[in-house]
Structure 1
Amino acid sequence: MLDLVSAIVLCILAQPSAEQTPIVGLYRLFELAIVNNKPYANRFTDVDLTVTYTAPSGKKVDFWGFFDGDGRGGGDAASGNVWKLRFMPDELGRWTYAYNWTDGTPGAAGSFVCVKDGAGKGILRPYKDNPHWFAYNGTEPVWLKSYYETGHGSIAQDIDWIVENVYKRLIDRGYNHLQVNWLLSLCCFNQYYLDGPQPQTLDLTLYKDGTPSTSMRLDVWHMMERHLRFLNDHDVAVHMFLGFDGAKNQGPAWARLDRRQQEFYVKYVVSRLSPFANLGCWNFVWEVEGNRQDHELAWARLIRKYDVFGHMITYEDECPRDNFYHLPEYDLAAVENHLIAGPNKQIDRLHWKDPWTHHMAVIASFVGKPVFMSEGNALWRRYWHERTGATQDDLRRAAWACATGGASFCWNGHLKEYELYAWGPTGLPFGQDHPYADSARYVDILADVMTNKVQFYRMRPSDELLSRHDPMRVWALAEEGRQYLVFAGHGEPFAISLAKGNFVDNCWIDSRTGSQMPIRPISVKEDRQVRRFLPPSRSTDWVLVLVAEEIAGGRTGTTLQSDPEAAYTQTILERAERIVDMLGLDDLQKAMQVRDAIADQYRSLRDIHDTRDALIKSAKANGADSEIKAIEQMAKAMQERLHVRYIQQLSAILNQEQVDRVKDGMTYNLVQVTYQAYLRMLPNLTDRQRARIMASLVEAREQAMDAGSAEEKHAIFNRYKGIINNYLSAEGYNLKQASEALRSGSRSGSQ
């Protein structure tokens, strides 16, 4: 199915006829096989195949072909007669090409037509308008949903099996980016899918140490390219993790190549791979310094020299607090999260699983170029979780730590290095019963938020807008005045400085479940306003999203949830927060404690009332009216116990004045409203009479706090108003006359 030959236009030193003109999709792969039967001693180096491509616009691109043995994976430096041209067209229309041999062997010319049908996405580059992020061709932003696929030796397994059991499952889940170990194939070949077919071979080293120009393995190249070709056809970008230097994994070492071998190695790799648009970037290798002139810098300059398509270049920095990504040789930062918490690994390793070290690592790595968290220790179940004790909660938080740091990341949920499976509890984490299925869902939720709830590509890390928060748990991403996203780990409260705007599509998102709790519109009329936010609970990590009306597209976050219980939770939290707002608490931890206490009280009262009402209904239906009074007394006793505990809970957090204000908030401030009405109606009340009125209203408030509805609360106050009125009448006041006098504007009505 994926035989390379089927994709090749075979040309034997002749120009194709017009009817044979190949059709190639935009950003797809043009490939031409050319036979040259000259008996070169070393077909890799004795002759070069050069080609000039001319675009429909007239732009000319000089590039190289490469020797490919028999064109099917056979052959070596001394055998084979097939060379190939590869190219990725980036303009629609007819392209022409002319190739030549450096030894004077006659060349030829031809053409192909680039069409929109079947077009690819293009090459990943830094987004021109906001280089925190990636974009196809630098202009079309893309959220990288990236998985670390670790099957080194899987390139020698049946490609159709790998497609069905690995790649398609990732693609079906929305992954558009893979970090892989098989590009380039330099080590660790025993890591293949044990539940798949046996590999053709485990001898997969790309070349013999020190001699790529004489020992390049064409069969291994064809194995790698079958995988890369399939992924390219499905617009899945590939990040080479192990890269060019096998020395880190006991493979062929860059340091053992002389300058001539280095140049051949890079030029040959580039001529084969750079026409694949899905080559996410060139990576030297993992965990290197970044500033070694004879290693990664010399390599990067060679890549820049030969890659006419301009794929990004990087190295992976284990300790990115001090990095070299500012150098012009590099286009992005690929990082790990070490030496963030401490100056040496003995101290620092205690924090490798901590999400905040991931956040700080990506923040420290940004030098105007995109950051990719290539090896976040909390993000890798394979290798790092067993070494650090990281959990799936750490993984979820680390993912958000990277995203709010303005960075992309990869993760994995399979286990083991040398016991790799596609299926089962240690395999890819997409089965319903897989132990890391939760993590896969967490990443789905994050990707959905970033692509559907906000325009992530317009946003930047904005922790400086936060205050009154825990910086180890709360991080912000924002496009000021238009959209804000705050991750609040463990439900931590925070305040954020908002720029002027009318935010209408607002919600809390549970990062564990994806459930959303709408927030009513927020209007900021002044240039800047600090608003405090209390996440709905401490039981999960919450994400706050605020989106201004100009980019909301008609969406609004004000609709109550369809699930009755969720809608009730939203209602009582909003009600409780309005009460907390009246207290003006500077301590957000205390504010959240009070909010939660009030909301819990509402819920507990609801449960008592619902139980009481259900029992009474049942008693009436069964003709057991005599039981109703006992049911009501039981409910009242439960309310009284709950009331005492609630006041004790509030009193442990607040002073008496603040507790009274909470009580007023729960009863619509009816104590003061009613009291002031009496004072206006009867301005000559004595201190003793005023005190008696206030005492009655306070007693009413204690009962009304436990009532189940606004009507019941008002009914309780109305009952106590009757008691007060009787008292005032006994004191000689004519309340009817006083009321009429108040309406008419007269101040009379006293005794």
Structure 2
Amino acid sequence: MYINEKLINLSLVLLIFMTIPGLVNAASTTPVDQKDLSVKVHYTSPELVEPAEVGKFDIFEMTFEHPADYGEQNNFFDIDITVEFVSPSGKIREIHGFYYDTIAVDNSLWKVRFAPEESGIWTYSYSFTYIPTGSQTTGNGTFNVIEGSNPGFLRQNPVNPFRFQFENREPFVPIGFNTCISTNNIQQMDGGDRSGVFGGKISTDIFLQSYNQAGFNIFRFSQSNCSPDLVDESLSIYYKDNAMYFDLLMKQLRTNDYRIFFGLFGYLLPNNSDVPPQSELFCFIDYVINRWGAYIDIWELQNERSAYADWIKTVAGYLREWDPYNHLITTSFPQPELNEIEINTPHWYLHENVLDSDKVTSQQAKLWKLQNKPVIVGEHGNSSAESEPGNWMTDSALGMRIRSWTAFFNEISLIFWNNSGSTNANSGLAANIYLGPIERQYVHILQWYSNMVIQNDLRMSEVELFDDELMRAYGLTSEEKVGMYFHHYDNHKNILSEKIATYNFPFSGKGYWISPATGMKLGEVVFASGINSLTIPDFVVDIAFLGVADSLLDTFNTDPIAIAWILNLQADGDLDNDGIRDYGPTYLPFGISPLFLIYFTGISTDLDGGSLEYLWDFGDGSRNATRKITAHRYSTGNYFTNLTVTDNESRKASFSFIVRVSDSSDAEGDGTLTLSGLQDITVREGELVLISPHTNELEDDEETGNMNNSITYTATGIPEGASFGERGETWGSRKNFWWVPSFSQSGSYTVVFTVDDGNGISESKKVEITVLDAIPLN
């Protein structure tokens, strides 16, 4: 580890706070500069009920407080925190700590994070050492790990090398996205080409929840790739506020059931550098492992950077040696021929004829799989001419549906680069993709299907067609499941009727025909073991088949699908009433107040025939439990609208989107203001509170660079130690509320945020912040 030799006064008072605490033995102290080190242990996690228990693979976090101010300097490498964890079976895991933040003058926080892989009683012993003098304090304790719901980290499937499974051997089918991030806790979702009036800003929590409901389950990001840097180009200056935001984002991702695909360097390092890795690089890798190793599933060395094989071997080898969790390793540009690279992660942007979407996907998959390694397309989306918007096109939703289904049947996975704040963004070669309500519904259906058919022994298989001049077919088979996918590549207008497919089933069972567009069941068939000729139900674009062995039918219970088609009665192509036809789909849920939307939910499906109950939450305080057709009138504002479907076995599925409604006099952003991004928060002492208020009016636009200096944000009731507009990224008038409550600040706080347009119109909203005690356990 790189050491900065700057001396500090080691007058320590060491308090240990545990996000997931346990039983604590008396800690030993060693005189240092005539001072004794005292130790306390506290419970700080808001999620846990039993303070002495943690779920297997969940995060055990220790927070150390000590009286020295490290600020923005790198002298925090003068401190080494080492914790030795011993499992119930006697395995030893050595985990190191990292500097977190300074919460007051001469009062800094340090953390250790660990994900235990065994259930039972664990023991630990720690040392907190000032390296220049060797002075240290030590302590030890125990905690209980229970069998929780976390399946563990991602691993390569040992039966099929192109698939993934968790450590508990549960199969996993990745489909994910990238998106730009900043230390504003804001994302872009369900926006349109509305000159800012219908912009797509939304809080990160709601954003992640909505995409996960749709089936997205892996999130790729890194430093220095449309994201903040963690360290400067010399790898010697660390940016702690950016790292704190990454902490918060990873917690939000895990809370919303995402697996994390994390890039260490992004674009930070130069192409094909002939400089061997230096000590600063290894020091940064140590830091990243210590800080986020307990969260990560996949390490990516670089993003779209060429690197010499020796550099990759050295860096990946170091990562493999020191990563206690043995996470999978990849890099971009991909070099799957190297043994150290365990996943092939190409980037793929295109705008093909949708009649060929399955063909080009299948052809690419064959090339990418030549090294017999899993394939995750690390960035996927549309491409377009320089002069044309490319993230949304009239056929891009259909193309991504066909490519996504074909990718699953060809044993590869896609991670889209998501750009959903507007429908007219990103002209040029890599145009990213708009993942709005219709695109998310397509993913929702695919993931519902893939979770039903996936088994660890699932492999590609042949489907024979009597008429292959009109459609192409793809097959998957295991000992108990069969899947088939058919695409009508001749045209997407005429109905294909009475087409025959022949398949050699390894078992007898029952089959279901399913629409990839709606998830509806289109038919059923009983088949025998061996060769069967199946009549395909009528279809126009594509159709899927799920076959289930007789041995599974008695226990074959499926989750429902939550699908709602939207009818926008203002859908005249000019939703902002500016006299110019808007670019984008007219069905999207935004318009001028009052906005009247009709939702059709009757196509929601439960494959095993269960009855369904529907519950709409319109986001404005009203709800509706109507079955098939629901209508709702919205006034001015932004509304997180959610449909939940429950079957007769209490299995649930949800789907959500944002309804955006502007006042008719506010088409230019000079009328009623809507303040968003605010919700009540509960945290423990020592945990970051980040609030990013925003409005969807015509304010500062990070993508276009347009500045509206008349918009201002203010906050009152700011607690001691908190700031508004001083930490994290700001853009023009936008500000962050940033606060790490100290260990004497438990209680309730009310902060009032106000936005003002400079023309006499403003709106205020309050946020209740509840800070829970760091409960002492010793």
Question: Are 2:300 and 1:283 equivalent residues in the alignment?
Answer: yes
Partner SS, residue 457 of structure 1: coil
Say whether the 8 Å CA contact 1:354–1:378 is kept in structure 2.
Answer: no
Question: Are 2:305 and 1:299 equivalent residues in the alignment?
Answer: no
Deviation at 1:226, TM superposition (A): 0.7
Cα separation, partners in 2 of 1:50 and 1:554, compared to 1, 3 Å: closer
Question: Residues 46-66 of structure 1: CA distance to partner in whole angstroms, max 9, x if unpaired?
Answer: 443333211121111123222
Question: Residues 699-727 of structure 1: CA distance to partner in whole angstroms, max 9, x if unpaired?
Answer: xxxxxxxxxxxxxxxxxxxxxxxxxxxxx
Residue 363 of structure 2, aligned match among 360, 365, 370 = 360
Say whether the 8 Å CA contact 1:246–1:253 is kept in structure 2.
Answer: no
Residue 222 of structure 1, aligned match among 236, 239, 244 = 244
Amino acid at match of 1:58: G
Question: Are 2:578 and 1:537 equivalent residues in the alignment?
Answer: no
Cα separation, partners in 2 of 1:351 and 1:522, compared to 1, 3 Å: closer
Residue 289 of structure 2, aligned match among 270, 295, 298 = 270
Deviation at 1:486, TM superposition (A): 1.6
Say whether the 8 Å CA contact 2:416–2:433 is kept in structure 1.
Answer: no
Amino acid at match of 2:82: T
Aligned to 1:641: none
Residue 260 of structure 2, aligned match among 215, 238, 245 = 238
Amino acid at match of 1:284: L
Residues of 1 paired with 2:470 and 2:92: CA distance?
Answer: 52
Question: Residues 580-634 of structure 1: CA distance to partner in whole angstroms, max 9, x if unpaired?
Answer: xxxxxxxxxxxxxxxxxxxxxxxxxxxxxxxxxxxxxxxxxxxxxxxxxxxxxxx
The structure with the largest helix share of the pair is 1
Amino acid at match of 1:152: I
Any gaps of 5 or more consecutive residues in structure 1? Answer: 190-203, 318-322, 339-344, 431-435, 558-751
Residues of 1 paired with 2:283 and 2:474: CA distance?
Answer: 46
Percent identity between matched residues is 18
Deviation at 1:139, TM superposition (A): 1.1
Instruction: Please show how residues 201-600 of structure 1 align to structure 2 within 5 Å.
Output: 204-210=228-234, 212-213=235-236, 215-240=237-262, 243-247=264-268, 258-276=277-295, 279-288=296-305, 292-317=308-333, 324-337=335-348, 354-366=357-369, 367-377=371-381, 385-386=390-391, 391-411=396-416, 414-415=419-420, 436-452=436-452, 454-463=453-462, 465-466=463-464, 470=468, 474-479=472-477, 482-490=480-488, 495-502=501-508, 504-524=509-529, 529=531, 531-553=532-554
Residues of 2 paired with 1:254 and 1:535: CA distance?
Answer: 56
Say whether the 8 Å CA contact 2:225–2:303 is kept in structure 1.
Answer: no
Amino acid at match of 1:148: F
Say whether the 8 Å CA contact 2:513–2:544 is kept in structure 1.
Answer: yes
Partner SS, residue 63 of structure 2: strand
Aligned to 1:26: 56
Residue 165 of structure 1, aligned match among 183, 191, 206 = 206
Partner SS, residue 517 of structure 1: strand
Partner SS, residue 303 of structure 2: coil
Say whether the 8 Å CA contact 1:476–1:487 is kept in structure 2.
Answer: yes
Say whether the 8 Å CA contact 2:272–2:305 is kept in structure 1.
Answer: no
Instruction: Please show how residues 81-160 of structure 1 align to structure 2 within 5 Å.
Output: 81-100=108-127, 101=129, 102-103=131-132, 104-116=134-146, 119-137=149-167, 139-144=169-174, 146-153=175-182, 155=184, 157=186
Q: TM-score, length-normalised on structure 1?
A: 0.57
Aligned to 1:604: none
Amino acid at match of 1:553: D
Partner SS, residue 115 of structure 1: strand
Q: Alpha carbon RMSD of aligned pairs, Å?
A: 4.6
Larger displacement relative to structure 2 (443-452 or 9-18): 9-18
Residues of 2 paired with 1:26 and 1:380: CA distance?
Answer: 46
Residues of 2 paired with 1:384 and 1:294: CA distance?
Answer: 40
Cα separation, partners in 2 of 1:187 and 1:273, compared to 1, 3 Å: same
Deviation at 1:381, TM superposition (A): 14
Amino acid at match of 1:274: G
Residues of 1 paired with 2:165 and 2:238: CA distance?
Answer: 34
Residues of 2 paired with 1:355 and 1:385: CA distance?
Answer: 20
Q: TM-score, length-normalised on structure 2?
A: 0.55
Residues of 1 paired with 2:486 and 2:166: CA distance?
Answer: 31
Residues of 1 paired with 2:52 and 2:450: CA distance?
Answer: 39
Task: Count residues with an aligned counterpart.
Answer: 494
The structure with the largest strand share of the pair is 2
Residues of 1 paired with 2:286 and 2:356: CA distance?
Answer: 39
Say whether the 8 Å CA contact 1:122–1:137 is kept in structure 2.
Answer: yes
Deviation at 1:439, TM superposition (A): 2.0
Question: Are 2:89 and 1:57 equivalent residues in the alignment?
Answer: yes
Deviation at 1:441, TM superposition (A): 1.5
Cα separation, partners in 2 of 1:499 and 1:326, compared to 1, 3 Å: farther
Partner SS, residue 297 of structure 2: strand
Residues of 1 paired with 2:69 and 2:215: CA distance?
Answer: 49
Residues of 2 paired with 1:356 and 1:209: CA distance?
Answer: 42
Say whether the 8 Å CA contact 2:178–2:416 is kept in structure 1.
Answer: no
Question: Residues 508-543 of structure 1: CA distance to partner in whole angstroms, max 9, x if unpaired?
Answer: 212112222324322245xxx3x5545323512011
Say whether the 8 Å CA contact 2:330–2:341 is kept in structure 1.
Answer: yes
Question: Residues 221-261 of structure 1: CA distance to partner in whole angstroms, max 9, x if unpaired?
Answer: 10111111122234321223x5423248x9x9987885111
Partner SS, residue 360 of structure 1: helix
Cα separation, partners in 2 of 1:420 and 1:88, compared to 1, 3 Å: farther
Amino acid at match of 2:484: V
Amino acid at match of 2:303: W
Cα separation, partners in 2 of 1:19 and 1:155, compared to 1, 3 Å: closer
Residue 188 of structure 1, aligned match among 208, 226, 238 = 226
Residues of 2 paired with 1:327 and 1:352: CA distance?
Answer: 35
Residues of 1 paired with 2:455 and 2:294: CA distance?
Answer: 29
Question: Residues 322-341 of structure 1: CA distance to partner in whole angstroms, max 9, x if unpaired?
Answer: x6435331232223347xxx
Partner SS, residue 442 of structure 1: helix
Deviation at 1:24, TM superposition (A): 2.7
Partner SS, residue 136 of structure 2: coil
Deviation at 1:462, TM superposition (A): 2.1
Deviation at 1:82, TM superposition (A): 3.7
Any gaps of 5 or more consecutive residues in structure 2? Answer: 1-15, 30-36, 45-50, 189-200, 490-495, 559-778
Where relative contact order (Cα < 8 A, 6+ residues apart) is larger, the structure is: 2
Say whether the 8 Å CA contact 1:466–1:476 is kept in structure 2.
Answer: no
Question: Residues 3-51 of structure 1: CA distance to partner in whole angstroms, max 9, x if unpaired?
Answer: x989487999556579998543321111222345689984244443333
Cα separation, partners in 2 of 1:533 and 1:521, compared to 1, 3 Å: closer
Cα separation, partners in 2 of 1:53 and 1:482, compared to 1, 3 Å: closer
Residues of 1 paired with 2:337 and 2:456: CA distance?
Answer: 22
Amino acid at match of 1:370: P
Say whether the 8 Å CA contact 1:121–1:235 is kept in structure 2.
Answer: no
Deviation at 1:386, TM superposition (A): 4.6
Say whether the 8 Å CA contact 2:507–2:549 is kept in structure 1.
Answer: yes
Residues of 2 paired with 1:217 and 1:314: CA distance?
Answer: 25
Cα separation, partners in 2 of 1:419 and 1:439, compared to 1, 3 Å: closer
Aligned to 1:656: none
Deviation at 1:143, TM superposition (A): 3.1
Amino acid at match of 1:48: D
Residues of 2 paired with 1:284 and 1:352: CA distance?
Answer: 36
Cα separation, partners in 2 of 1:244 and 1:253, compared to 1, 3 Å: farther
Question: Residues 86-113 of structure 1: CA distance to partner in whole angstroms, max 9, x if unpaired?
Answer: 1111122232222333552223132241
